[in-house]
Amino acid sequence: MSPYLPDTALTALAVGKDVYTYAQTDEGVLVECRGQLKTVRGNQDIYSYQFQNHVLARYEDDEVPDSAPKLFTPLAAACIGSTRYLFYVDDKNFIHGVQSRSTPWPEDTGLLQLHIPCAHYSQLTAITISKNNFQAICLYYQTPNRDAAIELLSYSTKNGRWVAGAPDMTPNPPPPAPPPRVVDPPLYGTSITAVPVRNGLHVIPQSSLPVVYLQWDTLALCSFAGFSIEVETIRTLDLRFAPHTSLTTVDDGATLYCFYTSSQNNHIKMIAIKDGKASEPQTVATPTPRSAIAAVIPSRDRIVLFYQTLNFEAGKVELQGMTFQRLATSSTNPWPAAQAKSTHLG
């Protein structure tokens, strides 16, 4: 196995107790690391790495095809049923997707036909939502325009095609176009992360689209729900991070958990946000200085966080999966870092 590309983008996907993590090797290959929550040491479900799959190469006979992933490509993943989708960017900054329906993973021709360019500094995030017995993938990216807006691409099982904008998941025609987005830019190159919408996330109540979190040009945590909806801060909070923090979120249906990298000692910290209030930050891991981070919540009482670490003895960058277990007996700190278990991926 080739070493992971230092500072590779990371994205993770939970399908039941199966956990899939995607990264790029130093040869530009996109790989899928497969693991599971397994019962070890009594009844604790801990992430356990199993094996790695080759998804997509950058080179073919020393040539780089037009659809090949660029080095340091952003990554996002989602699934519909048993099919997993991995999204990436090519050398000309156009967005591509491949599917796990066969080996090698075939390109999603519907997404390719949209021919969507993103900013060269753009990150990606994707999430699957359900409504009216339909499922949809929402894929977010940052445009190369001056306003650096976050835009949405979507795929719905209702019509089986990719579109620019919100997915059609209703038995009626889609609603009228939403109002124009604000022009004040998000932070250029901001991390983008999303969770399913629910009551209590301070978003437009009638929206069924995911809630997207990002970093504003003021360095504050901001969110929006829907397509081209105005981005705003969480008004009851004043959460500001280091510039270009790596950011990822998960939600258990009652509390939003936000992981981010700090400006001091390159730590990963976690905060819990509930009822418009945030807990004190908790330091949970020490990654490489520019590590991306990704988190999934395979079950309500488990969170798995992925990040890169430096193996000084081997002289290489490695990938770690850290499992957090919720402690029902603790109301002040239900996810203590001391209970986290770290697993090396390959």
pLDDT tens, position by position, 27-44: 999 999 999 988 766 667
Give the pLDDT score at 217: 84
- Counting Cα atoms < 13 Å in the Cβ hemisphere of 191 gives 27
Give the pLDDT score at 265: 58
The token duo for 249 is 């979120």
Kind plus residue range of the DSSP H or E element containing 242:
none
Tell me the C-alpha distance between 323 and 304, whole Å: 4
The token duo for 150 is 């976050």
Which residues, given as ranges, of the chain have pLDDT below 50? Answer: 228
Tell me the C-alpha distance between 76 and 166, whole Å: 18
Give the pLDDT score at 178: 56
Tell me the C-alpha distance between 123 and 107, whole Å: 20
Give yes or no for a contact between 213 and 203, defined as CB atoms under 8 angstroms apart. no
Give the pLDDT score at 62: 87
Give the pLDDT score at 173: 59
Give yes or no for a contact between 93 and 118, defined as CB atoms under 8 angstroms apart. yes
Cis, bond preceding 104 (omega within 30 deg of 0)? yes
